[in-house]
Structure 1
Amino acid sequence: MKINKTLSMIAALTLMAGSLAACGGNNNGNNTASPEASGSEPAATESPSASASAPASGEAGSDELAPEEGASLVVWETKEMIPRMEAIGKEFTAQYGIPVKVEEVSEADQINKLINDGPAGIGPDIVIYPHDNLGKAVAAGLILPNDFFEEETKAENSEASIAAFTFDGVLYGYPRSVETYAMFYNKDLVQTPAKSYDEILEFAKTFNDTQNGKYTFLFEQNFYYQYSFLATPGGYVYGNGGVDKNDIGLNNEAAITGAKMYQKLKEIIPMKTADATFDVKKGLFLSGKLAYDVNGPWAIAEYKKSGVNFGIAPLPSIDGKPNVSFSGVKGFSVSAFSQYPNASKLFVRFATSKDQQLKDFQELGTLPSNKEAAADPTVTADPLLVGILEQFANSTPMPAIPEMGNVWTPAQSAMADIWDNNKDPKEALDNAVKQIQDANSATQ
């Protein structure tokens, strides 16, 4: 498949994410139920003013939205992205004269943290998070709509990314990147990447040497990654495209089949779920002791710099069925508690422009949501994207309804029971679904 054609797969998520336009979500790996809204949403003052600075050449912006006098901004950002965000902040300050402070908060935790920090007056002006947090954020009144730059944002970004940050017909986010995970492989250890888990198990017979820290295949043991085992044979979280909370498919017959394959992999990965971390597998992969590493575009830049000879392929199939991974969209929103909503909107517009998304890709390997950036030769010339985007075409968006918050912990606990304690997959998944159903009923 040609790379420039493969890049069009970003648009394919539109079909899978269409149902997101009417719903919201939770976090990637955290599981608190949507709280009651706290605090009132302040009105943004969007009075046109000729005093607003014009954007630099090539940067998006508007000379009609005047930042508040004396504005200074706080942005929450995940650890790996902080240097890049600080660079964006310096550019923005040079352009608009508005100071920007970047504070470390993981993307998965930002909405949960904003619930308390926002009303207390110690929260940020801008949050950056995966789209499955949107429903919780809107239900709790934590974020402002993307109103002033709505038309520009919709025109410039893929339909999928716009749908992902839309709740009940209202656009709340400013998309930054799209992503899923795939199978990184060490080309010095693997001639042709495996196409199925059966091939992985066969290869392990001659490659594995876990006594000496040598592994065939590793993935992070959290439900974001574990989900692919249940989904590939035909399991799902919520029915009707992820919006029917009363239809849970995590314990159907297909999901149980996938859980059995998941459990079987412990034969070649004698490691507790708590020990299968990002840093552990990164260290093994970069030292040549791991043949296959399930990872995402966020790892590409660092792996390139390390000098390891690697490629990226789609995840292994199960019973001949293409692997179905979770996919997501990450983006910005302006906090409803910000004292400087105009300045914040100017910043997120600046930070998500084509030029900034291209810099994100060049420095961090993130896949742009901006359509022109995604089609830029700088992006299309990278052969490593083929595997990511082929997997992306088979992915399914994380459900974005608030009830997704009730899924993460029970589902991950069930998978840990299956792996760590050799629990019967059906029993473990039945128990998880019961917990999810009870939590959904309690929040109605």
Structure 2
Amino acid sequence: MKVNKRGVVGATAIAAVSSLALVGCAGGSGGGDASEAPEAAGTLTVWVDADRATVLKDAAAEFTDETGVKVNLVQKDFGEIRDQFIAQVPTGKGPDIAVGAHDWLGTLVTNGVVAPVELGDTAADYEQVAVDAWSYDGQVYGVPYSIENIALMRNTALAPEAPATYDDMINAGRAAGTEYAFLVGLDPEAGDPYHMYPFQTSFGAPVFGTNADGTYNADDLQIGNAGGDAFAVWLAEQGTAGILNPNISGDLARENFVGGKAPFFLTGPWNVPAAEEAGIEIAIDPIPTAGGEAAQPFVGVQGFFLSAKSENVVAATNFLTNYIGSEDVQTALYEVGGRAPALTSAFDAAVAGDPIVAGFGEVGASAVPMPNIPQMGSVWEFWGVTENAIVKGEGDPVTLWQQMASDIQSAIAG
């Protein structure tokens, strides 16, 4: 793969990364053991998972040919990267660059293990939601490469038109005469607030408020506002009507949808292959509003971030912005992972060639990033189980919701 690079790092970027290099020069670089350590100052170590390693192999070779800097690609299990990165970077044994998810960012920043990435003017070349996701306290900490979110999957044979509202969807689902009007997978114990979130936002009840720059404000917990109360009442109504059912897991929801037992399925691109293999003609639609406002799901953005202890910040930033940030590499990563690219030119090409990707991409472009602040960890513990309790009718919905909000606030306060 010949990488069509974005051009050399600009003067602003060089100045910024040069100053960072002075800060990071005391740290080490490399993998978790001697075999992963750089052979010279002109070596970059990059932690990747297996799929990303395949794509980056050619880009790394070209980078070495053009700069003389060797790129050592070290394969890691994606789920272990964050914790290993936090543990190894302070000791000087971590990599220069690692792949990861944007919602790790708050934990990485507060642990002091990542450095800002100077995108400069190239920030405008990415989908805005991707840059927002990789921003923390007004700075960008990674080069995003993929965007993933849920949307409404529709069996076009059972429902020829996209619904405008949740009620329209349920009415169309009932008119189809299938066993279920609508399907969404819920965990029997923990619930699934990730899938329920677009309906919650349609009632005007985000988890956290935002600052002027669009980043999340951990001091502004919004989940317990009046919109949250209205959402809780709605949840109870859907449970009573049997539309939301905690006993239908994600696997069961997929099985029933591909079996033609519902015209609508709230899910992500990971379930597209099963529907296509079953011979179902599908369309991907915006999520219909239940509360009158826009139904905005969470968007997850994967990218590559820079170690605060890298000894070769200029080369690392060059590799991040001009190689990983190139259209060729972003497109190749999309072709391997199936997630819409974060770079707008690659994104536009992907959605133009695939209506399924276009459908998810349209929803993702107006979605909201999963909160990347550490305080979000205090939300999950109470959120899903409360939603399940409300759906099951285990108490007054507003009382349960307000108790959840109070518990979250107490957990954040420590």
The answer, yes or no, to whether TM exceeds 0.5 is: yes
| Other structure's SS at 1:218 match | coil
Report the CA distance between 1:321 and its aligned residue. 3.7
The answer to whether the 8 A contact 2:183-2:253 is kept is no
Match of 1:216 in 2: 182
2:135 counterpart of 1:166? yes
- Shift of the 122–75 alpha-carbon distance from structure 1 to 2, 3 Å rule, reads same
Code of the aligned partner of 2:145: R
* Partners of 1:400 and 1:332 in 2: CA distance: 15
Match of 1:236 in 2: 206
- Shift of the 372–186 alpha-carbon distance from structure 1 to 2, 3 Å rule, reads same
Match of 1:145 in 2: 116
Match of 1:27 in 2: none
2:277 counterpart of 1:308? no
> How many residues were matched structurally?
373
* Partners of 2:288 and 2:75 in 1: CA distance: 38
- Shift of the 67–285 alpha-carbon distance from structure 1 to 2, 3 Å rule, reads farther
The answer to whether the 8 A contact 2:202-2:292 is kept is no
Match of 1:115 in 2: 86
- Shift of the 434–75 alpha-carbon distance from structure 1 to 2, 3 Å rule, reads same
Match of 2:367 in 1: 395
Which deviates the most, 130-139 or 343-352? 343-352
The gaps in structure 1 that reach 5 residues or longer are: 1-54
Question: Which of the numbers 188, 194, 201 marks the counterpart of 2:163?
Answer: 194
2:71 counterpart of 1:101? no
* Partners of 2:102 and 2:245 in 1: CA distance: 30
| Other structure's SS at 1:161 match | helix
Post-superposition CA distance 1:257-278 (Å, at most 9, x none): 223333333457688648623x
Report the CA distance between 1:391 and its aligned residue. 3.0
Which deviates the most, 286-295 or 89-98? 89-98
- Shift of the 391–87 alpha-carbon distance from structure 1 to 2, 3 Å rule, reads closer
* Partners of 1:205 and 1:362 in 2: CA distance: 37
* Partners of 2:44 and 2:220 in 1: CA distance: 46
Report the CA distance between 1:159 and its aligned residue. 4.2
* Partners of 2:8 and 2:253 in 1: CA distance: 41
Match of 2:290 in 1: 318
Match of 2:29 in 1: none
Match of 1:177 in 2: 146
Match of 2:31 in 1: none
2:251 counterpart of 1:285? no
Cα-Cα RMSD: 3.8
Code of the aligned partner of 1:360: L
Which deviates the most, 183-192 or 214-223? 214-223
The gaps in structure 2 that reach 5 residues or longer are: 10-37, 65-69
Question: Which of the numbers 62, 83, 97 marks the counterpart of 2:51?
Answer: 83
Post-superposition CA distance 1:112-134 (Å, at most 9, x none): 55334545777665433333332
2:238 counterpart of 1:265? yes
2:396 counterpart of 1:424? yes
The answer to whether the 8 A contact 2:152-2:287 is kept is yes
* Partners of 2:254 and 2:344 in 1: CA distance: 31
Match of 1:127 in 2: 98
Code of the aligned partner of 2:387: M
Match of 1:92 in 2: 60
The answer to whether the 8 A contact 1:181-1:388 is kept is yes
* Partners of 1:274 and 1:75 in 2: CA distance: 39
* Partners of 1:87 and 1:172 in 2: CA distance: 22
The answer to whether the 8 A contact 2:382-2:404 is kept is yes
Match of 2:249 in 1: 276
Code of the aligned partner of 1:317: T
Report the CA distance between 1:232 and its aligned residue. 0.8
Identity among equivalent positions (%) equals: 24
The answer to whether the 8 A contact 1:300-1:365 is kept is no
Which deviates the most, 120-129 or 242-251? 120-129
The answer to whether the 8 A contact 1:126-1:335 is kept is yes
The answer to whether the 8 A contact 2:45-2:71 is kept is yes
- Shift of the 434–369 alpha-carbon distance from structure 1 to 2, 3 Å rule, reads same
* Partners of 1:284 and 1:265 in 2: CA distance: 19
| Other structure's SS at 1:86 match | helix
Match of 2:14 in 1: none
Match of 1:154 in 2: 123
The answer to whether the 8 A contact 2:47-2:97 is kept is yes
Code of the aligned partner of 1:382: D
Post-superposition CA distance 1:357-398 (Å, at most 9, x none): 22233444322221222333x432433345334434553333
| Other structure's SS at 2:354 match | coil
Report the CA distance between 1:203 and its aligned residue. 4.5
- Shift of the 358–218 alpha-carbon distance from structure 1 to 2, 3 Å rule, reads same
The answer to whether the 8 A contact 2:386-2:400 is kept is yes
Report the CA distance between 1:178 and its aligned residue. 3.0
Match of 1:227 in 2: 197
* Partners of 2:7 and 2:169 in 1: CA distance: 46
- Shift of the 85–274 alpha-carbon distance from structure 1 to 2, 3 Å rule, reads farther
The answer to whether the 8 A contact 1:72-1:340 is kept is yes
| Other structure's SS at 1:175 match | strand
**Aligned ranges for residues 317-336 of structure 1 at < 5 Å?**
317-336=289-308
- Shift of the 197–295 alpha-carbon distance from structure 1 to 2, 3 Å rule, reads same
Scaled by the length of structure 1, what TM-score is found?
0.70
The answer to whether the 8 A contact 1:60-1:353 is kept is no
Scaled by the length of structure 2, what TM-score is found?
0.74
Match of 2:380 in 1: 408
